[in-house]
């Protein structure tokens, strides 16, 4: 699935995160506990964190008592995960070719990742690795642009076309391909960041990571200027960056 991007550009975007792995680990928001509870329930499960990245969702899965195996296309991202969570087994791979045996997990979850999957190719793989009664869970953090300064930031990020959920088309396609019943849940999370950390967090987005160096510098400087001038952020040492967390549970029929 390439959305509005050409296949080569799409592949470059989805494989760009290794170049910003350390910054991604430090600056991307985590996930609220209620999102994991909604996706998986209370009983411990063996869970595949697919597109696990640096382990931001893995953290919450472990805190909820689940056993986790982490898979991601980027060895650099997984190295960040392993440095913090050495007890979690990892493997390099993707949704279209999952490096796990048949019927080996009770759930497959993906945080900020399912919009990079190709549903017709990935859905059979998810069914293959799931045990009977298993579930698929997708979760995305989406900036709350009803907050004026966050809305202004979002308006400056118009090139960001594959950042979040609202790839509702992705959910619908997986629901059809699996096939599965769909349930949804909304919650919230807030990051507290300096203005420079807000800019550095944007720099971990895929479309920024693949910019030419001069273009990237100019783009990020424009965001610094926006935060320096906006009445809600000018002169502030710390900002609250709110997100809506959208969770989707797919129960294969």
- The domain ranges of the chain are 7-144+161-191+241-252
Query: What is the predicted pLDDT for the residue at 210?
Result: 84
Cβ atoms of 219 and 43 closer than 8 Å: no
DSSP assignment string, 217-246: HHHHHHHHHHHHHSTTTTT-S-EEEEEEEE
> Mapping DSSP to helix (H, G, I), strand (E, B) and coil, where does residue 48 land?
strand
What is the average pLDDT value for the chain, to the nearest integer? 90
**Model confidence band, residue 2 (pLDDT cutoffs 50, 70, 90):** very low
For residue 164, pLDDT beyond 90: no
Query: What is the predicted pLDDT for the residue at 28?
Result: 87
Mean pLDDT, residues 22-39 taken together: 91
Listed in sequence order, the residues at least 6 apart from 10 whose beta carbon sits closer than 8 Å to its beta carbon are: 2, 3, 162
Rounded distance between C-alpha atoms, residue 167 and residue 140, angstroms: 10
For residue 3, pLDDT beyond 60: no
Query: What is the predicted pLDDT for the residue at 27?
Result: 87
**Model confidence band, residue 17 (pLDDT cutoffs 50, 70, 90):** low
Rounded distance between C-alpha atoms, residue 144 and residue 166, angstroms: 13
- Of the chain, the percentage scoring pLDDT greater than 90 comes to 81
**Model confidence band, residue 21 (pLDDT cutoffs 50, 70, 90):** confident
Domain 7-144+161-191+241-252: which CATH number of 3.40.50.720, 3.40.50.2300, 3.40.50.150, 3.90.1210.10: 3.40.50.150
pTM: 0.86
Query: What is the predicted pLDDT for the residue at 58?
Result: 98
**Least confident segment among 11-25, 41-55, 161-175:** 11-25
**Model confidence band, residue 208 (pLDDT cutoffs 50, 70, 90):** confident
The values of phi and psi at residue 218, to 5°, are -65, -40
Rounded distance between C-alpha atoms, residue 93 and residue 78, angstroms: 11
Mean pLDDT, residues 207-228 taken together: 93
Query: What is the predicted pLDDT for the residue at 80?
Result: 93
Residues 65-114: tens digit of each pLDDT: 999 999 999 999 999 999 999 999 999 999 999 999 999 999 999 999 99
Cβ atoms of 249 and 41 closer than 8 Å: no
Mean pLDDT, residues 159-181 taken together: 76
Mean pLDDT, residues 124-143 taken together: 97
Query: What is the predicted pLDDT for the residue at 162?
Result: 46
Query: What is the predicted pLDDT for the residue at 10?
Result: 42
């Amino acid at each position: 699935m390439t959305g509005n991007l050409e296949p080569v550009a799409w592949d470059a975007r989805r494989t760009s995160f290794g170049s910003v792995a350390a910054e991604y680990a430090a600056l991307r928001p985590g996930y609220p506990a209620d999102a994991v509870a909604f996706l998986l329930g209370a009983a411990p499960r063996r869970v595949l964190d697919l597109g696990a990245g640096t382990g931001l969702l893995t953290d919450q899965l472990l805190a909820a008592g689940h056993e986790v195996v982490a898979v991601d296309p980027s060895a650099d991202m997984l190295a960040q995960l392993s440095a913090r969570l050495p007890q979690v087994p990892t493997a390099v791979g993707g949704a279209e070719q999952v490096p796990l045996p048949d019927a080996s997990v009770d759930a497959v979850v993906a945080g900020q990742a399912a919009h990079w999957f190709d549903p017709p190719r990935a859905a059979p793989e998810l069914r293959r690795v799931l045990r009977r009664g298993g579930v698929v869970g997708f979760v995305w953090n989406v900036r709350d642009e009803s907050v004026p300064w966050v809305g202004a930031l979002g308006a400056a990020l118009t090139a960001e076309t594959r950042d979040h959920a609202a790839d509702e088309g992705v959910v619908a396609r997986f629901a059809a391909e699996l096939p599965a019943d769909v349930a949804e849940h909304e919650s919230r999370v807030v990051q507290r960041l300096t203005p420079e950390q807000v800019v550095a967090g944007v720099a971990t987005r895929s479309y920024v990571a693949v910019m030419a160096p001069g273009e990237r510098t100019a783009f990020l400087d424009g965001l610094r200027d926006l935060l320096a001038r906006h009445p809600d952020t000018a002169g502030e040492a710390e900002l609250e960056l709110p997100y809506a967390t959208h969770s989707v549970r797919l129960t294969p029929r």
